[in-house]
Amino acid sequence: MSIARSVALLTALAVSTAPPPPTPPLSPSTTSGYSGYVDDENNSAHVRAHGAAQNPATSGQDDGPRDRYFRTDLTTCNLAATWDGVDLATTLDTCPDEALELTIQGAPCTDEEYELADLWVERVRDDGTYTDPEHLSGRECITPTDLAPHARHEFATMHIPTPEATLQAREPLLAGVHYPAYATTQPQIVDVTLLDVPVQIRADPVEYTWNFDDPHTPGGATLTTTDPGQPWTDGAPTPDHTWIGHTYTHLGHPDTHPGTHRDEAGNWYRQGVTTTLTTTWQGHFRITGTSTWTTIDGTITTTSTTDPVTLTEARARLVCDDTHGHTTC
């Protein structure tokens, strides 16, 4: 057996691209020991387990034992302890005191990648016992491309707090007045683990669609913008059409529109008027600790609705009494 051939075998194991199975990763228990050897003729590595390992994700469940997966580095030992004689063995522990540990390094992962150790499995037998650990795949450099479909699924099911939507006005609203609208939003970031890789998922608000519940103002029912709007503050200019907001110009006629009513004084009004905001979010992800964010295909939306208010008209009337009760006509 040659060192070069054995190193080539172990390097081939290290670059295996077999996909990880959909089972939680497992770390060997402190009571387990492993030993093994390289079958140079058949290009395989054999490892034997001593003791037991626990899978916290399935322990105590009633659906029976499952295959146990874990990741750990593969250690290669020269049991001959000399370069003149070679007796290679692989182990999941450190080499025996009398053996030489060989360091076999693959190409280093880049700053935007994440390194995963070798993947192993102990398969459950019909009688509930487990086989010796089987080497499934070697060390891997995980890239954002590998994680993209998993990040897309995670983003699609991400919980985003519903933004607060505000139509800045005092009730009742008056037709002919421009009321500012604004949303309180900010990017949302969650930390997840995908394929054993720590990942950050970020959702950014990118578009706002306002529905002002106004069927009577031509072209005025909805407004879509990339600007979340801003509140009016004391001392600021009077809000006009350049502000994100809305002006109700018509209420509809009480005799022809069921939602419009007439009070005893003849004033027209609508009740239960709400403003609905649909916020569109774009997703991005990155491997935790790296600097580059990758865009996730597709978007998700959230919906916010303001409390219902009453809308009425401010009508001008000719009166004969002034504010002091004096008759002027």
* Each residue's pLDDT tens digit, 108-152: 899 899 999 888 899 999 999 999 888 888 888 999 999 999 999
d(CA 196, CA 20): 9
Judge whether 329 lies within some domain: no
Note the pLDDT of residue 215: 92
Tokens representing 143 are 């890239």
Same domain, 167 and 268: yes
Same domain, 233 and 129: no
Judge whether 285 lies within some domain: yes
Same domain, 275 and 294: yes
Same domain, 161 and 212: yes
Asked which of 142, 170, 196 is the last residue of a domain, the reply is 142
Same domain, 26 and 111: yes
Q: Please report the sign of the dihedral spanned by the C-alpha atoms of residue 137, residue 143, residue 148, residue 151.
A: positive
Judge whether 320 lies within some domain: no
Same domain, 137 and 160: no
Same domain, 120 and 245: no
Domain that holds residue 33: 3-142
Judge whether 284 lies within some domain: yes
Note the pLDDT of residue 308: 96
Same domain, 159 and 32: no
pTM of the model: 0.68
Same domain, 18 and 63: yes
Asked which of 142, 175, 209 is the last residue of a domain, the reply is 142
Tokens representing 114 are 């994440």
Judge whether 319 lies within some domain: no
Is 230 exposed, middle or buried (CB count within 10 Å of its CB: 0-12, 13-18, 19+)? Answer: middle
Counting Cα atoms < 13 Å in the Cβ hemisphere of 244 gives 22
Asked which of 112, 142, 172 is the last residue of a domain, the reply is 142
Note the pLDDT of residue 7: 33
Give how far the C-alpha of residue 22 lies from the chain's centroid of Cα atoms, to the nearest Å.
19
Same domain, 200 and 71: no
Judge whether 326 lies within some domain: no
Q: Measuring CA to CA, which residue among 107, 136, 170, 124 is closest to residue 312?
A: 170
Give how far the C-alpha of residue 234 lies from the chain's centroid of Cα atoms, to the nearest Å.
39
Total structural domains within the chain: 2
Note the pLDDT of residue 165: 97
Same domain, 127 and 157: no
d(CA 77, CA 298): 49
Using 50 as the pLDDT threshold, list the residues of the chain that sit under it.
1-35, 37-38, 40, 42-61
d(CA 159, CA 84): 62
Judge whether 328 lies within some domain: no
Judge whether 130 lies within some domain: yes
d(CA 67, CA 133): 10
Note the pLDDT of residue 130: 94
Same domain, 158 and 305: yes
